[in-house]
A and B are shown apart, each in its own frame.
Chain A
C-alpha cells in the first residue's frame, strides 16, 4: 500500500496509471468483453502488455508526441487501449461519436488533424474512406473487427491485431522496450490527454482539451467521494466520445483500478448489465423512465396475486424506502415490512434489472420526474444526481449518499469552486477543468471569465441545504419588475409534469407578475372528458370548456403551491393563465422539430393574448394564420378566457439575490 501510495504522486498520465496498476494489482480484472457469448477478461497486467504492443505498433506507423489519433466505434477494449497507447506516446486521442454521419465524422477528423484513425468495423471504415479526400493529414486507418474487410485493398488500411502482433514482436528487443518506457515517462501531466468534441447542439462542435493531471485529479476526488475501489465493476455502454464515458469509465476506472465491462453489442446491453451486475452505474433519466414503463407493463400482465403483492410492497417502499435510504429514523415495524418486501419484490426486481450489486448510480442530463426518481430510490437503489459539463471534465456538483432529492443536483463536488453571478449564471473552477478548446482560442476566451471561471450558460441557485438547483439556460432567465428571479423553463417544467398539460409558455420578464399560456394534452384531456361526460367536437372546443378550465386551474394551483415553498421562486407564482385555442405546432414554427417551444416567436404571434393577460381583461381574442399539414394556410380565430389565480403566501424574496 505504501509503495502504491508513493507512486501515485507521479502518476499524472493514464499511461503511468496503467503501468502502476500492472505492477500493483496485476492480477485484478481490468477489462471484460463479451465475445462469442463468453465474457473474456484481461487483467491489468494483460492490458498493460496489450497496450504497449499497440503503442509500439503506432510508433512504427509514425505516431509521435502531439499528433492526434481519432477513435470511432463502440465500447471495445481495444478502442480503449488505443487511447492509452496514444497517451503513452504523448499523442492525443480524439474519440468520435460512432453514430455520426460521414460528414460530421469528416468535420471532426479535419479539425483535429488526426493522422491515424482507429475504427471498430467495416461500417466505420467505409465512412472514413468515403471522406478520405478531405483528410490530407490521415496516414493510416486501423480496424478492430475484420469482418467484411477481407477484400479491401487500400494500402494503409490494416487490422489492429496485426499491428499489435508486430508491436509485440518488436518489444522483444529490450532497446525498443526501453525506448517505449522513456516515452511514457517523457509525457507530462500538463500535456493534453484527450480531446472530447461537444455534440454541437448549440452551434459548431468544439474540441475540449483536457490534460492528464487535471483529469486524474478530478477522477481521484470523485473516486474518494463515492469510495470506488478495484472491487467495483462498471458496464461501459455510453458513447466513447461523450465526457460521461471518458470520465465514469475510463478515468475513474484507471484511477480506482476497477473493472470496465464492454457489452457484446448495443442491442444486448440490457442483458449484459444483468450478467455483469455492475456496482457503479450511470444512465440518463429517459433510460430509467423506459425501464420503469416496461416493468409496469409486465406487472399488469402478471397474475392477480403477484399484482397485489407488488402493489403492497410498493406501498411499503413509498412509505419507508426513501427514509431508510436517507438514513432517517424509521420505526421497527416499517423496517420489518421493508425487509420482507426486499426479500419478496425489490430484490428480485433489482436482479431482473441488473441492479442487484449497484452501490452508486447516477443520473444527469435533464430534469427527472420526482415520482420516477423516488421509485428507484425507494426500492433501495442508491440513485443520485450530478450536474456536469465537458468543460469541467464532468463533475460540477454531485449529491452525497444521504442527501438526495429529485429537484436539485447536489452541492459542489470535492474541490470545485462554484459561484452564482448576480444575474444567476452558474460558474465554476474545477480540478478537471479544461485547458481550452482545440485550435479555437476565441471560443476559449468566450467560455472563461476574466478571473478564470468557466461560464456554464446555465442559471441556477443554491437551496438552503447547499444543493444547486438548475432552473434554465441563463439567457432565458429574466426578472419581474419587482426584481424577483423568473426562470420560464422552471415554471413550464413544473406544469408539464402533469399529464393534462402538453406544453406551456410562461411570460413575465420585465412584467408585474408571471402569466402562463397552456396547451392541453388532447389525448389525456380528451380521455378525461369522455369519462366525465364532457362533450366536445374539436381541440378548440375542448380547450375552451369551463370544466377543462377548472381541471387545469387545479394543476396551476398545485404548481403555485410548490413554487411558494421555494424561497427563491415564491414570487414567481402564476397569477393569470389561459388555455391556447390551438396546439403549438412545428409546422407553424411555434415549436422546433424536437418539440422545444420557441418562446420569442410564440410571444410575438400571440401578442394580443399576452396583452390580455396583463391588462386585466377577462378574455382575449386572437386571429392568426395556421398551416395545415399539406401546406395550405388557413385562419384561426379564437377567444379564450383568462383566469386569475390566488397566490400562496411564500417567503417572498426571502433570500433576495
Chain B
C-alpha cells in the first residue's frame, strides 16, 4: 500500500461498531489524506454507509479512535461534525421536498449565519448584508452545478438525478473540508453519471474539498478516486490505488465469489 502523500485529514483506527449482536464494522483502519478523492467500496451490507455514519458522528463506535484535523475525538454529534467542516449527502435523497432548490441549498449556509433570529426576521441592516453574501455563495453553487433553470422549483417536483445534484449543492454550501458522498450516482443514467462525475472532480480540484465517496459503479470509482478502500462483511480487505485494488485477489473474490 502506498503511503498517502500530504497530510492526513482524517484517520480511522481499529474501529468496531456493532448493533446488539450484529457486527457492522470490525477493526477497520484507514485514513483520508487532504485533497484526495477516497472511495469506499464493497458488496451490499459491507458496512460502507455505517462507516460514513461513524465518520460524521451519527454512530458512535464501541472501539477505536477517529482523528480529524489532528484532534482525536470521542463522542461527536453530527452537528459538531458539520461545524467542523464535514458535509454529506445521503444514499436516499434527504432534502426538504416542499422547499425550492435555492432554499434547500441556502439551508446549507445555516451554520455560517451569525446574526440571530431577530435580526434575520427583520431582514434589515447587517442581517440583510449577511443574507446577500450567503445568497451569492448559493448562486455560485447553482451556476457551478448548472441548475439555474430549477432555482425556484420545489425539489419534490424534480427528477431524481436533479435532486441528487441539489443535495450535492446543499453540501457544498457548507464549504466543507471533507465531503462524504453516499452513492452519488445511484439510479442515474449514463449522461447524469458523467455530469455528476464532472461535478465531483471539479469540487475536488477547484473547490479544494477532500472527498470520501461510496459508489457501486466500479468504472466511476476507478476513474475518479485517488485511493480505494474495500470493505467486506465489516472488515477491510484491501486498501490502495485503484489499479492495485482492481487486481487484488480478495476483492475479486468478495465481488464475484470464491473460485474453487
Contact = CB atoms under 8 A, between A and B. Distances in A.
A37 B136 CA distance: 8
A37 B142 contact: yes
Contacts of B136: 36
A268 B146 CA distance: 11
Nearest to B198: A148
Main secondary structure of the interface of A (DSSP, over half): loop
Contacts of A36: 136, 139-140, 142-143
Contacts of B71: none
A264 B147 CA distance: 11
Contact of A271 (B142, B143, B149, B202): B149
A456 interface: no
A150 B135 CA distance: 25
Contact of A267 (B140, B143, B148, B152): B148
Interface string A29-65: 0000000111000000000000000000000000000
B151 interface: yes
Nearest to A35: B143
Interface string A121-159: 000000000000000000000000000101000000000
A37 B149 contact: no
A148 B135 CA distance: 23
Contacts of B135: 37
Contacts of A265: 146, 148-149
B161 to A, nearest CB: 15
Contacts of A267: 148-149
B148 A268 contact: yes
Contacts of B202: 148
Interface string B127-147: 000000001100110110010
A264 B148 contact: yes
A267 B143 CA distance: 13
Interface in A237-292: 264-265, 267-268, 271
Contacts of B206: 150
A37 to B, nearest CB: 4
A37 B101 CA distance: 13
A269 B129 CA distance: 29
B219 to A, nearest CB: 22
A268 B202 CA distance: 24
A37 B140 CA distance: 9
Contacts of A38: 139
A150 B136 CA distance: 22
A69 to B, nearest CB: 27
A265 B149 CA distance: 8
A268 B142 CA distance: 13
Interface string B146-164: 1011011000000000000
Contacts of B152: 271
A106 to B, nearest CB: 25
Interface in A1-52: 36-38
A36 B206 CA distance: 18
A37 B102 CA distance: 10
Contacts of A148: 202
Contacts of B149: 265, 267-268, 271
A284 to B, nearest CB: 21
A128 to B, nearest CB: 20
A267 B102 CA distance: 16
Nearest to B102: A37
Nearest to B132: A38
Most chain A beta-carbon neighbours within 10 Å: one of B136, B140, B143, B148: B148
B22 to A, nearest CB: 46
Interface string A501-545: 000000000000000000000000000000000000000000000
Most chain B beta-carbon neighbours within 10 Å: one of A36, A38, A148: A36
Nearest to B136: A36
A354 to B, nearest CB: 14
Interface in B93-112: 102
Contacts of B148: 37, 264-265, 267-268
A645 B135 CA distance: 69
Contacts of B140: 36
Nearest to A37: B139
Nearest to B149: A267
Listed from nearest, the 8 A-B pairs whose CB atoms lie closest are A267-B149, A36-B139, A37-B139, A268-B149, A264-B148, A268-B148, A265-B148, A36-B143
Given A36-B139, A267-B148, 6 more contacts: A37-B102, A37-B139, A37-B151, A267-B149, A268-B151, A271-B149
9 contacts: A36-B136, A36-B142, A37-B102, A37-B135, A37-B139, A37-B151, A38-B139, A265-B149, A267-B149
Interface of A: 36-38, 148, 150, 264-265, 267-268, 271
